[in-house]
Structure 1
Amino acid sequence: MESSEDPFFWRVSQSESLKEYQPGGYHPVHLGDIIYPTSGVKTSRYRILAKLGYGGFATVWLAEDLVRKNQCVALKVNIARLTGRNNEVKILKTCSSLPHDQLGSAHVIRLLDAFEIEGPNGIHEVIVTEVVCGWYPTVVEASGDVDTRKICREVSLGVSWLHGNGIIHGGTYIHGNNIGFRVPRLSEISPDLALKNLEEVIGAQTCIAVVPKDRTYDSTHLPKYLVEENSGAVWLHGRLADIRPDDYCPVIFDFGGAFRQADIMPQPYVPLVFTPPELLFEAGTLSFASDIWALGCTLSQLLFRSTLFGRISNHTQLVGAFAKTFGPFPSAWVDASILVKAGIDNETIANNPPSLDIVSTEWAVTQTTLPWDEASRESPELAKLMKGMLQYLPQDRANIHQVLLSPWLRVQLQDSKSITRLKSNSAFLENSASIITT
């Protein structure tokens, strides 16, 4: 039902907020628009074909590369207030400059182009990448056909490639919304065929006119219409239907909060359920260990199709979920104001076994089959892996090398150069524990 306070006549449920079309906010993008750099040599030109998605800081579009003919790409247009304050282009350029024959590099998105455009709401960064399809509908609808462990293994390999090259994914965290699947043979599809195929799959793209109720409303900052999010995403999902689920190639993307280990950490944009304890209790900085916490939460999400802590709306609820899942807090944290506010004390927690221990015991005794995983005998190994990644203190967590060598993931590190690179990085000197490999 339409809110009486809404300044517009019509609303779109699956689209970005119109209120963010203001100076510093979104850039108005329309189907058929030609996007190119505002200044400098205009060697880049892209025609907008369909909408792939949106977030709080960008809209993402399927586009035709007009310079490199017959190539479809993804165009991410950031909000203007991020320009000059966002590490994403810098990190993606760093990734692009690294050898791509290293173990795990195939599971990090590829940057194709980056430039700036100017519009009614300011100057915006445009990031052009290969096209990836969101993981969630793909995995859920494929259900039993998906080798979930393979996906978990390959996402972990992507993290290992980042950490081995000194890159912390950081503030946006590694989670389900930052993992997609590379769409095979997309380069073989002409934009004309893509549009024809898109029309066959979804019909006309749903566009809702943007009409302010107030005649004096300044419309110069607004798009003429909004495009529903799912049009391009549904089409991409259809493209994946032609390949075997075993061939799905997961890709980590969204590097807006990423940074090099040697650099100053940018302001993190932290999804609540992926917030590591050190940010709540120690005002600590993000680190390789923070990525491991987020990866542990992500593997749980990939396996069970839900977040580890359920529905959480604030930090007080989050620490309550920590206590229920992992048990008593470290002694240095027991007097923390957030625990006092939540009415949580270690004595009470100690009287209730943490749910992760209960689950681990049940798996060990009953060998319960995990969803989409036929190897039920290895469930205790998964529980051991999760416990190693989800330790309260960063220094107690497994590092990515130990994660890869865990019995459940069973990564065969046969690339000697990759092993040397991983072990030489300080990420693997932070922690000598063998919690998950023995």
Structure 2
Amino acid sequence: MSPRQYEDDDAESLPDSRFLLPQLRDADTEDVEKYQRGGLHPVHLGDIYDGRYRVVHKLGAGGFSTVWLARDDTEHRWVALKIVVADYSTSVSTKSQLSCHAASRCASDAVFGFVLERRHFTLDGPNGRYLCLVLPVLGPSASDLSKGIYSRITPSLSRRASYQATRSLADLHAQGLCHGDVTTANILFGLLNIDRYTESDVYRLFGAPETAPLETESGETPGPEAPKYIVKSLNFLSSIESVISQDVRLIDFHQSFLISLPPEQMLGTPAEFLAPEVAVGLKASPASDVWALRCSIFRVRSGEGPFSGFEVTSPVDLLRIVIQTLGEMPSSWGDTLFDYYGQPTKEPTKGSPLEPVVETGRVRLEDRVWKEDKKKPYPPCLSDTIRKPTATKINNSYIDGYSYETDELLEALPKISENEAALLYDLLSKIFVYDAQKRPSAREVLSHPWFHMGEL
């Protein structure tokens, strides 16, 4: 079947968009098309769930859930209420129980490296039955804080956070469980005693929730399956008080699995974090977790992942970049076939071998959407946590993006020391190898000197 025929078949199978994109400035929202049977549950500010959890603000959204800041009116504290899409609620419930069991067997201090449910309940709604997880409230992710020249975590905190994430993963592996989705989006910074804040304090620190009507393409009023409006997620970096802690936790065990029982199907991990053996269709393992963790460490320290500067949307995209970096793949992988969507397949009629790289397109940062406050420094209370390179004025000029004109400005910014660069290269080069058996375990790399250049 030709790629063109694939395109035609795919175009015929794609449903028409029902909703208009919400008009919220500088906001990443949930996929509004998932407000349908089996999908997301419609949530409104002020809704009360399980008779005690009152929705006050929005914390975020992913492909399989929305997460809300809620006030527990029974225990008088803040919680994160995660409402999973209906079609995945049963699976997520099983994985959540598995991770809770594994974490309960870890050393007492290690448990604090994970985010586990305080309780859960089910909810019947217009789109099905949903699992609702009650979780502790955490702050921004490592992805939020480490964005190239837009936002950079301080060097010492980068090493501290990387060490803590590595230790958490090592403890998880020791209990026979793989995380399966180690990314910077799943490494979250903690908050400093958020329960001391009232509802008015939350609005004072982070602003009242911003909303925009959810409108349909046809102009018809959405039914009960969709919310009346979409809410913009809370921005922890807008606070004028110090609320972000120096400690991180590993979250989201929706793709976790027993080491002794790896999944048969491809992990749902973003392609740029996949280990190469997983990208060719082999089973995931603790070694693939370690590969993903090292990709995350690279992003935490440098602001960009090792493969995120390229268009990597599928396993085959990733492999082309990895081959450029590490050289040719093992010969035993050479007969792997990939389908039109870049996924490994064992069906000869639906796949073809990996094609040589002709040219790899870069994702130029100047093509990204810029926020209006790009030159406004972060509040002083965040000085020990992050800095904003674009707010740095050098020779009477600001950095607007990566281009030939800004090379001189970039050269003037602080650089990683030669000593640290050598240590980081040594750490990463031991892990970025094709043979999973030759990668060190998460436990083994904890003693690497890069982690211990300063106080952790």
- Alpha-carbon distance between aligned partners in 2 of 1:96 and 1:398, rounded to the nearest angstrom: 22
SS of the residue aligned with 2:164? helix
Whether 1:105 aligns to 2:111 is yes
Q: Say if 1:108 and 1:252, in contact at 8 Å, map to a contact too.
A: yes
Change (3 A) 1:373 1:167: farther
Q: Say if 1:133 and 1:237, in contact at 8 Å, map to a contact too.
A: no
After superposition, the C-alpha distances for 1:312-358 in whole angstroms (9 at most, x for unaligned) are 1333321110011112222322344459432269xxxxxxxxxxxxx
Residue matched to 2:47: 33
Q: Say if 1:300 and 1:306, in contact at 8 Å, map to a contact too.
A: yes
After superposition, the C-alpha distances for 1:4-39 in whole angstroms (9 at most, x for unaligned) are x75446624521122110010000111110011xxx
Please list every run of 5 or more consecutive structure 1 residues that lacks an aligned counterpart in the other structure.
37-43, 346-368, 413-438
Q: Say if 2:431 and 2:440, in contact at 8 Å, map to a contact too.
A: yes
Whether 1:307 aligns to 2:313 is no
Amino acid at match of 2:286: F
Q: Which of the residues 59, 63, 70 maps onto 1:63?
A: 70
- Alpha-carbon distance between aligned partners in 2 of 1:410 and 1:202, rounded to the nearest angstrom: 35
Residue matched to 1:381: 423
Whether 1:406 aligns to 2:448 is yes
SS of the residue aligned with 2:173? helix
After superposition, the C-alpha distances for 1:203-234 in whole angstroms (9 at most, x for unaligned) are 432111223353666612111111112xx2x1
Residue matched to 2:196: 188
After TM superposition, give the deviation of residue 59 of structure 1 in Å: 0.3
Whether 1:222 aligns to 2:264 is no
Residue matched to 1:175: 183
Residue matched to 1:259: 257
Amino acid at match of 1:11: P
Q: Say if 2:167 and 2:443, in contact at 8 Å, map to a contact too.
A: no
After TM superposition, give the deviation of residue 242 of structure 1 in Å: 1.6
Which piece of structure 1 moves more, 85-94 or 390-399?
85-94
Residue matched to 2:10: none
Change (3 A) 1:314 1:411: same
Residue matched to 1:127: 133
Q: Which of the residues 10, 34, 49 maps onto 1:20?
A: 34
Q: Which of the residues 110, 121, 146 maps onto 1:115?
A: 121
Q: Say if 2:427 and 2:450, in contact at 8 Å, map to a contact too.
A: yes
Q: Say if 2:103 and 2:114, in contact at 8 Å, map to a contact too.
A: no
After superposition, the C-alpha distances for 1:57-101 in whole angstroms (9 at most, x for unaligned) are 1000101112212x1011110000002222432134214533552
Change (3 A) 1:335 1:17: closer
- Alpha-carbon distance between aligned partners in 2 of 1:100 and 1:240, rounded to the nearest angstrom: 36
Change (3 A) 1:110 1:292: same
Amino acid at match of 1:319: L
After superposition, the C-alpha distances for 1:266-302 in whole angstroms (9 at most, x for unaligned) are 7521211011111233x22211111011011111111
Change (3 A) 1:145 1:377: closer
Amino acid at match of 1:158: S
- Alpha-carbon distance between aligned partners in 1 of 2:85 and 2:193, rounded to the nearest angstrom: 31
Amino acid at match of 1:160: A
Q: Say if 2:157 and 2:246, in contact at 8 Å, map to a contact too.
A: no
Q: Greater helix percent: which structure?
A: 1
- Alpha-carbon distance between aligned partners in 2 of 1:99 and 1:337, rounded to the nearest angstrom: 40
Change (3 A) 1:9 1:239: closer
Whether 1:151 aligns to 2:165 is no
Q: Which of the residues 290, 311, 322 maps onto 1:292?
A: 290
Please, what TM-score do these two structures have when normalized by structure 1?
Answer: 0.75
Q: Say if 1:146 and 1:372, in contact at 8 Å, map to a contact too.
A: no
Residue matched to 1:46: 53
Residue matched to 1:419: none
Change (3 A) 1:325 1:10: closer
Amino acid at match of 1:293: W
Q: Say if 2:115 and 2:136, in contact at 8 Å, map to a contact too.
A: yes
- Alpha-carbon distance between aligned partners in 1 of 2:212 and 2:325, rounded to the nearest angstrom: 44
Q: Which of the residues 185, 201, 211 maps onto 2:215?
A: 211
Q: Say if 1:184 and 1:240, in contact at 8 Å, map to a contact too.
A: no
Residue matched to 2:398: none
Q: Say if 1:404 and 1:411, in contact at 8 Å, map to a contact too.
A: no
Change (3 A) 1:145 1:297: closer
Q: Say if 1:10 and 1:209, in contact at 8 Å, map to a contact too.
A: no
- Alpha-carbon distance between aligned partners in 2 of 1:211 and 1:259, rounded to the nearest angstrom: 39
Amino acid at match of 2:30: E
- Alpha-carbon distance between aligned partners in 1 of 2:192 and 2:422, rounded to the nearest angstrom: 35
SS of the residue aligned with 1:51? strand
After TM superposition, give the deviation of residue 254 of structure 1 in Å: 0.8
After TM superposition, give the deviation of residue 261 of structure 1 in Å: 2.2
Q: Say if 2:279 and 2:316, in contact at 8 Å, map to a contact too.
A: no
Change (3 A) 1:46 1:263: farther
Whether 1:197 aligns to 2:201 is yes
Q: Say if 2:78 and 2:194, in contact at 8 Å, map to a contact too.
A: yes
Change (3 A) 1:15 1:324: same
| Counterpart mapping for 1:288-437 below 5 A | 288-309=286-307, 310-311=309-310, 312-337=312-337, 340-343=353-356, 376-410=418-452
SS of the residue aligned with 1:219? coil
Residue matched to 1:161: 171
Please list every run of 5 or more consecutive structure 2 residues that lacks an aligned counterpart in the other structure.
1-15, 339-351, 359-410
After TM superposition, give the deviation of residue 411 of structure 1 in Å: 10
